[in-house]
Structure 1
Amino acid sequence: MSNSYAQPVLRTADLSKGLRIVERLLAIADTSELEVDFEALVYSAAYLPTLVDVLPDAEWWAEGDGGAWGLVNNPSAHSVARLRSWANPPGLVQRFLKAVGDSPAIVRWDFTGWPEAPAVGLGESGTRGAYVTLCAYARDLELEEPAADHSVFVHFKEIDAERGPWLAYQIGLRVLGDPVMAPY
């Protein structure tokens, strides 16, 4: 698996607006194969039972001695736990966002590809780099920058850097910064 590059196209205090922008971006994409990945930093054990109910097969990670993250069996024994779950059905998004509460979280939609963008000289993208990410209560793709608002990122291959601004333009927005390498 290779990393994608990503650019934010929206920052909003309204989570439902962020989800509507994601829907508009997915309407442009080839979603014949669509799955969703989840990640969250959970600071409150109160969220754990509902998250385990929504994503029973999720991996839980916690920071150990020396600052390294490792898999754990009992996330409630740690002050901060990181949940990761891949290849989920899109129908879990609302349940996940409700269960995670105000914890910093990521929802990443993986799909078949972006369409051709002849105006910027790009063909269809294929699956590598074809993602949309909603960062809830976080400004970045690694959940290192907590925020009171939410960000939507479009992803693309490094050689397709013009795709970010093109995608934003297709839905009446503009990119909000330079491309950054996504962590996965």
Structure 2
Amino acid sequence: MSNSYAQAVLRTADLAEVLRVADQLIDLADTRQLEVDFEAVVHRADELERLAKVMPDANWWPRGPGRSGSSRDGDSAFECLPVVLSRWTMPPEAVEGFLAAVGDVPAMVRWDFSGWPEAPEIGLGYGGTRGAYLTVCLNARDLYLEDPAMDHTVYVHVKQAEAHRAPWLAAQVGLQVMGELEMAPL
């Protein structure tokens, strides 16, 4: 597992606003290569059934210390709840179905793309693939989905050495960064 660095730019209970801002940020990005990753923390069988339909062939592992079982071992996720359900490299068109299935489950959508644009006014060239992500955390206040919430957070990911790109990106969509730049799982 590698890491990127992320900074929050929006937190709201309004999912339509979250998606509007996410779309605006994605419109800034070089999306010649665009894919989406999903992750959800699933506690109940009905949640697992609903999300498994939109996350085909998802990997899963138990949530919490001292627990065993996984998709790799061929175990049943239903017998190991709660679990983290994860699916990488989905097409962007899958986002709508995932959002409809999430309900109140802590979950995230991460868009992976080719790079952030040049930002000459702050001395930055093209961003490149490393550090070029956008994450929306649904029903959670953190990137690790450990702090359940009634709202959603949009994060921009940047290279640590280009941390000042995050406030620049936020400003491009009329926002400001919130909190500090933090290490994010990938």
TM-score (norm 2): 0.93
Q: Distance in 1 between matches of 2:9 and 2:111?
A: 15
Q: Return the offset for 1:37.
A: 0.3
Superposed CA deviations along residues 44-96 of structure 1, whole A, max 9, x for unmatched, are 211222222211210011147x5356524311113311100101001111111
Match of 1:62 in 2: 62
Unmatched runs of 5 consecutive residues or more in structure 2: none
Q: Percent identity?
A: 56
Quick one: structure 1 residues 125 and 106, their matched pair in 2 at CA, closer, same or farther if it must change by over 3 Å? Answer: same
2:30 is paired with a residue of what secondary structure? Answer: coil
Q: Distance in 2 between matches of 1:36 and 1:22?
A: 13
Equivalent positions of 1:88-127 (< 5 A) are 88-127=90-129
Q: Distance in 1 between matches of 2:173 and 2:160?
A: 21
Unmatched runs of 5 consecutive residues or more in structure 1: none
Quick one: structure 1 residues 54 and 175, their matched pair in 2 at CA, closer, same or farther if it must change by over 3 Å? Answer: same
Which residue, 141, 144, 153 being the options, matches 2:143?
Answer: 141
User: Does the CA-based 8 Å contact 1:42-1:100 persist in structure 2?
Assistant: no
TM-score (norm 1): 0.94
Match of 2:173 in 1: 171
Q: Distance in 2 between matches of 1:102 and 1:27?
A: 27
Quick one: structure 1 residues 31 and 69, their matched pair in 2 at CA, closer, same or farther if it must change by over 3 Å? Answer: farther
Q: After alignment, is 153-162 or 76-85 more displaced?
A: 76-85
Quick one: structure 1 residues 180 and 68, their matched pair in 2 at CA, closer, same or farther if it must change by over 3 Å? Answer: farther
Amino acid corresponding to residue 180 of structure 1 in structure 2? E
Q: Distance in 1 between matches of 2:139 and 2:25?
A: 20
1:16 is paired with a residue of what secondary structure? Answer: helix
Match of 2:85 in 1: 83
Q: Distance in 1 between matches of 2:68 and 2:23?
A: 33
Equivalent positions of 1:150-165 (< 5 A) are 150-165=152-167
Q: Distance in 1 between matches of 2:149 and 2:63?
A: 21
Match of 1:11 in 2: 11
2:96 is paired with a residue of what secondary structure? Answer: helix
User: Does the CA-based 8 Å contact 1:2-1:128 persist in structure 2?
Assistant: no
User: Does the CA-based 8 Å contact 2:9-2:178 persist in structure 1?
Assistant: yes
Match of 2:46 in 1: 46
User: Does the CA-based 8 Å contact 1:58-1:85 persist in structure 2?
Assistant: yes
Structure (1 or 2) with the greater strand fraction: 2
